[in-house]
Amino acid sequence: MEIDKSELYRMITRTFPRSHFDDVHDVIQATMAYAWERSQLREQPLNAQAYATVIAKRMMLKLVMQRRRYLYPDRESAHGWETLQEEEECLVEEHTPDASVDVQQLLSVLPDHYAMILRRHYLEGAPLRVIADEVHVTHPTMRKRHQRALQLARRFFGIESIPVADP
């Protein structure tokens, strides 16, 4: 069972760009150990690289979500500790060619004010509170506009049945 570690490192660091190198290294090592255990049980997957990639992504996502539970004053802001309610940035940044085509297509179809909200929040990582200040509206108004923009985006992709999460 051949697994290319450099490909795993490349995929993890691109999918999770703000992750610490030690965390990436630990995830890759745990993935390799898990894959070895799996091979010893004679349950080898058909595509070992794809299997290891899925395992590494899942492990890193769990680690990132666990780390987001805690705030570190040196990483969060220049002002020190802040609450999670005030920080409304996305947890994971994933850049794939297929996703960028869909995003550009979606942003060209949406009305300009909704496209601006989605672009600033998801692509540039700006919190909704900051966008609300720039547009001179209240935070609840911006949250409602964000919700409407997501509803229109879901209609565009044909998945209206997915419930809208309140940001």
Encode pLDDT of 45-98 as tens digits.
777 788 888 888 888 888 888 777 665 555 555 544 454 445 555 445 555 544
CB 131 within 8 A of CB 121: yes
Q: What is the pLDDT of residues 139-155, one digit of tens each?
A: 999 999 999 998 888 88
Mean pLDDT of the chain: 76
Phi/psi at 127 (5° precision): -65, 155
CB 121 within 8 A of CB 132: no
How high is the pLDDT of residue 94?
Answer: 52
- Give the integer Cα–Cα distance in Å for 142 and 137: 7
Domain ranges of the chain: 5-76, 97-157
CB 156 within 8 A of CB 109: yes
- Whether pTM > 0.75 for this model: the answer is no
The answer to whether domain 97-157 has CATH 1.10.10.10 is yes
How high is the pLDDT of residue 108?
Answer: 82
